[in-house]
Structure 1
Amino acid sequence: MDEGKPILPATPEGRDEAGGRDEGGVPGAERGGDHEPSGPAPVHEPAVGERLTPLHEPDAYDTPPYGRPGPWAPAPPVQRPMAAAPPPFGAPAPGATPPPTDPWRTYDPWAARAPFQQNGAPMPGRRRRPGRALVLGAALVALVVGGIGGAVGSLLERGGAAGDASPPQAAGPARHSPGSVAGIAAGALPGVVTLHVKGDDGEGTGTGFVFDGQRHVLTNNHVVQAAGPGGRITATFEGGETATATVVGRDAGYDLAVVELSDAHGRGPLPLGDSDGVRVGDPVVAIGAPFGLAGTVTSGIISAKERPVTAGGKGDGSDVSYVDALQTDAPINPGNSGGPLLDAHGRVVGINSAIRSADDTGGSGDGGEAGSIGLGFAIPVNQAKRVAEELIRTGRATHPVIGVTLDMNYSGDGARVGARAASGGPAVAAGGPGAKAGIRAGDIVTEVDGVRVHSGSELIVRTRAHRPGDRLRLRVVRAGAERTITLVLGSAGGG
């Protein structure tokens, strides 16, 4: 075989190793000699150590990763990375690690070599995310803890321990200063009674308070008036104890009455204050049984002093009460009548007696069903104390008088002395205080001790604020001329 000729393929089936045809070949073929065969040239087997010539020229670029090509296959075509298409909606953003795919289909021979990884072992530099086992473990722990908590709560509830989970509370009743409304009420309520009155003239409810240590209770005349001579009066204390009561004395002009209890149940008298020392704006507390609600406590202030108030009275003008009252905005309603009005020290400074209702008519505290509009009136305790002592001592009260008859129909400013008395006699009683001071019929009184009066009712109120024997200074107008008259008050029996 000449050097440099290409190697031919192996002989086809039917040829012997020498290149001739065997006995099964084409008829007429001969072996040996110089005769050239008519078929392809014989196959040449290379000798040991003989260099083979490749079928193509060497690759000038030495293309990796194969290096130099072998003699049996052509070099693979050069592959270049393709531009990445934009990811579809929902696909990982560019630069993010794509999910694992078939490594043979995405193999890039120019990519950097990644370290080998064992099956199940983490790659260096990457953290392994918690597996399903951790999630299942956390869920199991939560279920166990919840079950234990529910069981403990159920046991505590059944055992009554759940009811003990309450805010701490101070032991014993709350303490209040003596000057607070609560402190004043606590000290006064034991000495206040609710009076239930029933008689031929009707029935009603009022209030009173223990006046002294002889079981006497001070209240309003209009509270007990309905009992009459054969009626019944029952007193009920704060604690529910009851006692019967009888009238010791009463006076319609002052609207005051005293009853005596069959049993005081150990209750002592309420302390009395000084009504002359009360000032407008002072705090006060009222206690009573408005509309039958016993032991009701309200509070307010002194709104005014020396307020002339007339209350009660029959159609003929008798039994009218003239009160030089203390005005308060502490709520007073029907049923409060006769109850105490207390100052900041718990002392009685007035006896609740009348209110001005929304229908603009004055009246007693238990008359009708009118409610409080913040205009309540109380008899000053200094006056009530004098009258009560007279009622206890004699059963009657005396009234200070000037000794004149007033014209109650006079509509001008001031109080005018009438022309005649109701009996037809002279308007100025002979020998009385007015006659001795020089007062005449037709005189108009405009001031009492420097205080202006505008009507006959106001003159009576100012007069009854004094005691018999007190000296008064009157400003009188006669025939257009003013003059000052001084007189000493006389006394008249009340009823």
Structure 2
Amino acid sequence: MHPKKEPTRPIPTGPRPTGPRLLLPGAALVLAGALATGCSSGSSSTTASSSPSASTSGSPSAPARSSGNQLQDDYQKVIANVLPSVVQITTPSGLGSGIVYDSKGDIVTNAHVVGSAKTFTVTLANSGKALQATLVGSFPESDLAVIKLDSPPGGLKPASFGDSGKVEVGQITLAMGSPLGLSSSVTQGIVSATGRTVSEPNGGNSPGATIGNMVQTSAAINPGNSGGALVNLSSQVIGINTLAATDPEMNGGAAPGIGFAIPAATITNIADQLIKDGKVGNSGRAALGISARTSFNADFQPAGAVIVSVTPGGPADAAGLQPGDVITKVGDTAVTTLNSLTTALAALQPGAKVTVTYEREGAARTAEVTLGSL
């Protein structure tokens, strides 16, 4: 099935689309472009036979609908159901996307989309009228934020969020948002992997967050897609488009088919707290209850994460860890920097028991720690 070629649309001028890019190690480039998805050619479709013996009734039978046409119908149904819930958000420094969360006008998006702004202009998918919105709350640690329309119009259509635990590799996905400022755009792909732990780059509006349990997708994600919806064929949002990989051998150009979305369970957990309290008291992310920095050895090479302070009564304190201890391993994961410690914890859950290996006065030790919440 070949899509009809449309005239090229000019890229609109104005605020720059926002969206952090993940620097992809060269070793992972073999995966780029290896997987093709979408409608197949006509050779895989089936139709009813035109032979007279194929029908026993006196009236002609209707042609069977091809599998390719059925998939197209499924796509169009999902787009009709979900696209009205996806908005474009404009800030003084850029633009991104968001998802209508409830009928009261709350919209969930990425923290890096809102940045430090407090007020925003929102454009709904089914209207060209600019609406004003105000920040409800932001949680950069999970790169999520909620804004609210000042005067919500009637007929707002909140999105339906799916069960993150049922997302499986191979499921068809549609990414909806405003890539490069092209509002109400849709791309398609599949779930390429689940349970990814990804660290965002620092700089610009990007909070440099390390986020666990992300959904990897082959659907194209570009600047401006951030905050938009990653959707399954049941018209459910399974993630917020957040991050696209870049290829260092292409001078930071996009690595095709490698994007990441924050899972629905994280979205609803954080959004519900921001809407209710304006802050997050339970992120669902594991924590040791310490502040730390990267430790360097005598050769000035990163050699662990040294504890600067310990939260009284927190997990590390209860396990006997002290300021000055250098953490070198969490479970079976080696820790060489503060970032690697954050990444190791992002892959774990609050309440989990883990062995922390550390050095104190040059001697290696271990402690059993019951992780708390960030």
The TM-score, its normalising length taken from structure 2, stands at 0.68
Question: How far has the Cα of 1:233 moved from its partner?
Answer: 2.2
Partner of 2:290: 404
Do the aligned partners of 2:101 and 2:159 also contact (CA within 8 Å) in 1?
yes
Partner of 2:183: 294
Change (3 A) 1:295 1:442: same
Q: Give the whole-Å Cα distance in 2 for the aligned partners of 1:403 and 1:338.
A: 30
Match of 1:443 among 327, 331, 338: 327
Residue 272 of structure 1 aligns to a residue whose secondary structure is coil
Match of 2:97 among 203, 207, 219: 207
Do the aligned partners of 2:112 and 2:206 also contact (CA within 8 Å) in 1?
no
Q: Give the whole-Å Cα distance in 2 for the aligned partners of 1:413 and 1:187.
A: 53
Partner of 1:355: 244
Do the aligned partners of 1:181 and 1:299 also contact (CA within 8 Å) in 2?
no
Change (3 A) 1:442 1:459: closer
Question: How far has the Cα of 1:383 moved from its partner?
Answer: 1.0
Q: Give the whole-Å Cα distance in 2 for the aligned partners of 1:264 and 1:357.
A: 39
Do the aligned partners of 2:328 and 2:335 also contact (CA within 8 Å) in 1?
no
Question: How far has the Cα of 1:387 moved from its partner?
Answer: 0.8
Residue 77 of structure 2 aligns to a residue whose secondary structure is helix
Q: Give the whole-Å Cα distance in 2 for the aligned partners of 1:333 and 1:260.
A: 24
Structure 1: which amino acid aligns with 2:77? G
Percent of aligned pairs with the same amino acid: 30
Partner of 2:342: 460
Q: Give the whole-Å Cα distance in 2 for the aligned partners of 1:455 and 1:255.
A: 21
Question: How far has the Cα of 1:350 moved from its partner?
Answer: 0.8
Do the aligned partners of 1:338 and 1:353 also contact (CA within 8 Å) in 2?
yes
Match of 2:77 among 174, 177, 183: 183
TM-align CA RMSD: 3.5
Match of 1:308 among 183, 193, 197: 197
Partner of 1:320: 208
Match of 1:193 among 59, 63, 87: 87
Mean alpha-carbon deviation: is it higher for 176-185 or for 300-309?
176-185
Matches within 5 A, 1:251-266: 251-261=139-149, 262-266=151-155
Q: Which has the larger radius of gyration?
A: 1
Matches within 5 A, 1:368-379: 370-371=253-254, 373-379=256-262
Matches within 5 A, 1:10-409: 180-198=74-92, 203-225=93-115, 228-229=117-118, 231-261=119-149, 262-314=151-203, 319-324=207-212, 325-359=214-248, 370-371=253-254, 373-398=256-281, 399=283, 400=285, 401-408=287-294
Do the aligned partners of 2:314 and 2:372 also contact (CA within 8 Å) in 1?
no
Whose RCO is larger (CA < 8 A, sep 6+)? 2
Q: Give the whole-Å Cα distance in 2 for the aligned partners of 1:388 and 1:380.
A: 12
Deviations 1:436-472 (A, max 9, x none): 023351232232xx777775435424545677xx312
Do the aligned partners of 1:403 and 1:433 also contact (CA within 8 Å) in 2?
yes
Deviations 1:6-56 (A, max 9, x none): xxxxxxxxxxxxxxxxxxxxxxxxxxxxxxxxxxxxxxxxxxxxxxxxxxx
Question: How far has the Cα of 1:329 moved from its partner?
Answer: 1.4
Q: How many residues align?
A: 295
Question: How far has the Cα of 1:296 moved from its partner?
Answer: 1.0
The structure in which a higher percent of residues are strand is: 2
